[in-house]
Structure 1
Amino acid sequence: MQGSEPVITVHDIALAASSSEETQSLTLDQALGQSAKDDRRLLRMLGFSFFIFGLVNNVLYVIILSAALDLVPPATPKGIIAFCNIAPALIAKIGWPYLLKGRIRYVKRLVGCCALSSIGMLVVAGFDSLYARLLGICFASFASGLGELTFLQLSTTYVPSAIAGRSIGYFASGTGAAGLVGAFLWWEVRGLGVRVGVGLSSVLPLIIPLTYFLLLPPNSAFLYTSLPTDEDVSSSLPYTPLATTTDEDDPDEVRLGKATSTLSPSDKWRLVKPLLAKYMLPLFCVYLFEYTINQGIAPTLLYPVPPADKYWFLSKIIHSVRDYYPLWQLVYQTTVFLSRSSISFGFPPLREGLLPLPAIVQGFILSLLVFESAIGFAADEFEATNIAIVFALISCEGICGGLAYVNTFYQINQEHPDPRSDAHDAESIKQEREFKIGSIGFADSFGILMASLVAVPTELTLCKAQVNRGKLLCKGL
């Protein structure tokens, strides 16, 4: 019996076409979903990389300050540690952006900073001589200052601007975490002694090049991101394409492309002039006030040990007069970390016009703490009230300092190119952005250095004022 051929109806054709369209739509949705997942994974890698950069780069600075009492003889002023820990970093931040010609060779910089940091810590650990230890601290400080400058500049190589801003947010968060992690690390290893404790910390800088080579996504990875971003500057920031050939002598050529132009001294002066009052002065003032509080006023904010029967909670924290200063530092470091993490936590950045606000508030906090130290908000028998007020003020101090740091560098990272600029090619625009964010990096370090000079007479004057009103606690330390 002869078989009958199947009859294909119009309805069957319509069903087949509909099924094909659904399959294509499903495939497209799956592809877009996978692309979004890949982008989110890259964003997590980017954020974690810059967090690690900020943490490791700044943690040695904190370890040195935390170990100051153990590094120098009792008769040596501890301020010399603070000076050697900040002055070389300031030199790096002032000299490098203005003296460097051409594009930045990130690989060579990072490897050099890593090596210098490790050598510096090994010198501190390996020699008992005061001068040798101070030299090692200077090495580590210079490397830290140049490293911070380099990572801030590295953030500008990422586009669109939302991605670059994310880099700044996580780097700032890492620098804030360094205060807590560094103090904790030294607390844990100080029992091993300077030689072993500081020696162990010399391996920490090795994390930076490992993160750079193994974890950090290349800046080309976000050119065609499928994730929604804010309005960005990518349309006005042409991207220097990735090199198509490998240059074994300079891996940066592969990562960032070849340089075709350099900024002249007149170009740099033209770029830096608008930044002086806009970014540098507020950042300098914030850090001048902040570190004057930390180094000159906080050591005098002392109170009697609270009795357990009257102040149950305070007595659990304060066991001697010497516990007050570490408490203030813990409060300060915690609030700095939280405020420097504000952008990475998803909070909106401060508007450009509000950048001077943290400096204004910081100056007001400094005045109030000077008043509390010299005269007192309440009578001495109400020490719990005074402690609570100081706790709140130092929390605000840390918040102001952290917000000033992260928002200043975030805003300059997001700036559009100057339309009056002669730079039209991608390389020139990239160098301008790198220079601008690097040129203001010395403002905070200069503020810290000036504060270290102001802090000593401030502490002595406040202690004298306390003695004159019969409060002798500062003399007993």
Structure 2
Amino acid sequence: MHEVNRRRHSESTSEDEGESPPPVPRSSSIQWRNAAGFWLLGLCNNFAYVIMLSAAHDILQKQETNKTALVLLDSNDELEKAMTLSLKAEHLSNGSRYDCNSVSTAAILLADILPTLIIKFTAPFYIHLLPYHFRVVLCILTAAGSFLIVSFSSGIAMSLIGVVFASVSSGLGEVTFLSLTSFFHSDVVSWWSSGTGGAGIFGSLSYLGLTWAGLSPQNTLLVMLIIPVLLLVSYFCLLVHPPFLPKWRRYPAAAVQVPGRQDQRPLIGGATCRVGKRACNLTLSEKWRVLQGVLKYMIPLSLVYFAEYFINQGLFELLYFKNTILTHAEQYRWYQMLYQAGVFVSRSSVRCLPIKRIWILAFLQFVNMFFLLAAVYFLFLPSIYIVMVIIVYEGLLGGAGYVNTFNNIAMESSDEHREFAMSAACIADTLGISLSGVVAIPVHGYFCGLL
């Protein structure tokens, strides 16, 4: 069916335009370069976002340590005493029954997701004004800035600014690289998706492994500066850019037909687009009808992500077990890594286990959330290994919700509506994550106030 649609589209385009599209090289080496390039772009784009969530406990703990040392010095205590007690700051809980930082890790989540949400909502109004090379350079600079600022920060506010830089890089990169796929063969979309999934597991594993090997969180973040360099090499050196790509100069995005693509609209944003002599922009009424059709998937996906990120950033820090060899910070890093492992596995499962009813995944994720919320309040779980199993299961549900949502939308949308439906649905997970951060902050404050 897909091949028939493609043939019909090709015939209609030839009739309308009366001329063949510009040739696009399809040699094996170029295909592999572009495939590898988009996989690395997906990996690098989401890497800083994952690292900031994995390092959230360490970022806040560092500020608590600094604060403790300053208070002791202001009290005219000896420097040696200040340094000794600051090293033990990880185990201080300010009289609470929980080992808490004064600020919830959900604050890191909000700083890491809200700029992305704003970019996704506003990009269609301005993104087409920026040539691709300028966008990518901005992504590289903000990613590098995020690692440097957080590494050398001396206060929570400065750390959050660094996390915002990571969010800007990830959000702008997602908009840019999804749009960029429309200038290449359709195969690159799957490679991009695979790279973004790999960012979760490789990002959390690299942070866990480097800190486990003895590197401080500060030095680990400095090592991550290799990621912006890899992003630069992937885009400017590895990709084979088509001649009609707006690189350093902006020009109207004409409908250039590329073999393997059904139409040539950017996924997000872009100037007025035409396929042949027919306008391909949807009217407001058409967009509203398409949006109504995908709400049955967007709402459950938002709920899935609300529940799982409430667990990750509201409860992970409170699920601390003292009867293990792992410190509190190490436990938090393992939680993040196990969650990302579950997500990575389930995002690759759609061909083996397609799921239509996303609301079932939302229901099961809320069961996880309420169970762990009760576990935090009543402290009835005897072992950290039970929590670890639940976290892997949580990641499996989250990844399955994401991949099945977009698979269902792609399968059920018509050719002319598919791109808008996919780009509109990508708001759902970001919105759910943002709302979870808003709720998790007061919940964290309530638990840390319990004696």
TM-score, normalised with respect to structure 1: 0.63
Is the alpha carbon distance of 1:342 and 1:207 closer, same or farther for their aligned partners in structure 2, counting shifts above 3 Å?
A: farther
Change (3 A) 1:321 1:374: same
1:334 paired to 2:345: no
Distance 1:254 1:132 in 2: 43
Return closer, same or farther for 1:320/1:127 CA change in 2, 3 Å cut-off. closer
**Are the aligned partners of 1:289 and 1:366 in contact in 2 as well (CA < 8 Å)?**
yes
Asked if residue 87 in structure 1 is aligned to residue 101 in structure 2, the reply is no
Equivalent residue for 2:190? 166
After TM superposition, the structure 1 = structure 2 runs for residues 280-319 of structure 1, keeping only pairs within 5 Å, are: 280-303=298-321, 305=323, 318-319=325-326
For 2:190 and 2:196, how far apart are their aligned partners in 1? 10
- Aligned ranges for residues 107-256 of structure 1 at < 5 Å? 107-125=133-151, 128=154, 130-155=156-181, 163=187, 166-167=190-191, 169-184=193-208, 187=211, 191=215, 194=218, 197-216=220-239, 243=244, 249=249
Q: Which has the larger radius of gyration?
A: 1
2:397 paired residue number: 400
Gaps of 5+ in 1: 1-36, 220-241, 306-314, 419-428, 468-474
1:55 is the counterpart of 2:82: no
Instruction: Read off the aligned partner of 1:151 and give its amino acid letter.
Output: F
CA distance in 2, matches of 1:319, 1:248: 50
Alignment of 1:326-475 (within 5 A): 326-342=333-349, 347-348=351-352, 350-351=354-355, 353-375=356-378, 383-384=382-383, 387-413=384-410, 416-417=413-414, 434-459=419-444
Shift in Å, 1:155: 4.2
Q: 1:47 to 1:411 in 2, by over 3 A?
A: farther
Q: Give the drift of 1:362.
A: 0.9
Q: Residue 103 of structure 2 aligns to a residue in which SS?
A: coil
Code of the aligned partner of 2:53: L
Aligned mates of 1:124, 1:324 — CA distance in 2: 21
Q: CA RMSD in A?
A: 4.1
Check 1:275–1:164 CA distance in 2 against 1; reply closer, same or farther (3 A cut).
farther
Contact map agreement 1:152 1:438 (CA 8 A) in 2: no
CA distance in 2, matches of 1:304, 1:122: 33
Q: SS in structure 2 opposite 1:208?
A: helix
* CA distance in structure 1 between the partners assigned to 2:418 and 2:372 by the alignment: 39
State the 1:252 CA deviation. Answer: 10
CA distance in 1, matches of 2:35, 2:48: 21
Kindly, what percent of the aligned residue pairs are identical? 29
Do the aligned partners of residues 183 and 417 (structure 1) sit closer, same or farther apart at CA in structure 2, a change above 3 Å counting? same
1:198, 1:260 → 2: CA distance? Answer: 42
8 Å CA contact 1:120, 1:137 repeated in 2 = yes
> 2:313 is aligned with what amino acid?
Q
Per-residue CA deviation, residues 262-291 of structure 1 (Å, 9 max, x unaligned), is 847726843652355233212211110001
Matched position secondary structure for 1:440: helix
Contact 1:53 1:174 in 2 (8 A): no
Native 8 Å contact 2:313 2:437 kept in 1: yes
In 2, the alpha carbon distance for the partners of 1:188 and 1:408 equals 36
Q: TM-score, normalised by structure 2?
A: 0.66
8 Å CA contact retained: 1:247, 1:253? no
Q: CA deviation at 1:341?
A: 3.7
- Whether the aligned pair in 2 keeps the contact of 1:88 and 1:142 (CA below 8 Å) is yes
Q: Is the 8 A contact 1:93 1:439 kept in 2?
A: no
Count of matched residue pairs: 369
Q: Compute the displacement of 1:147 (Å).
A: 1.2
- Is 284-293 or 109-118 further displaced after alignment? 109-118
Deviation sequence 1:168-206 (CA, Å, 0-9, x none): 541342233344245237627984673x55444344223
Distance in 1 separating the partners of 2:173 and 2:165: 12
- Relative to structure 1, the CA distance from residue 277 to residue 50 in structure 2 (aligned partners, 3 Å threshold; closer, same or farther) is same
Match of 1:31 in 2: none
CA distance 1:149–1:189, change in 2 (3 Å): farther
| Structure 2: tracts of 5 or more residues without a match | 1-25, 68-101, 258-263, 265-270, 274-279
Q: Deviations over 1:142-163 (max 9, x none)?
A: 1211212333444455555xx3
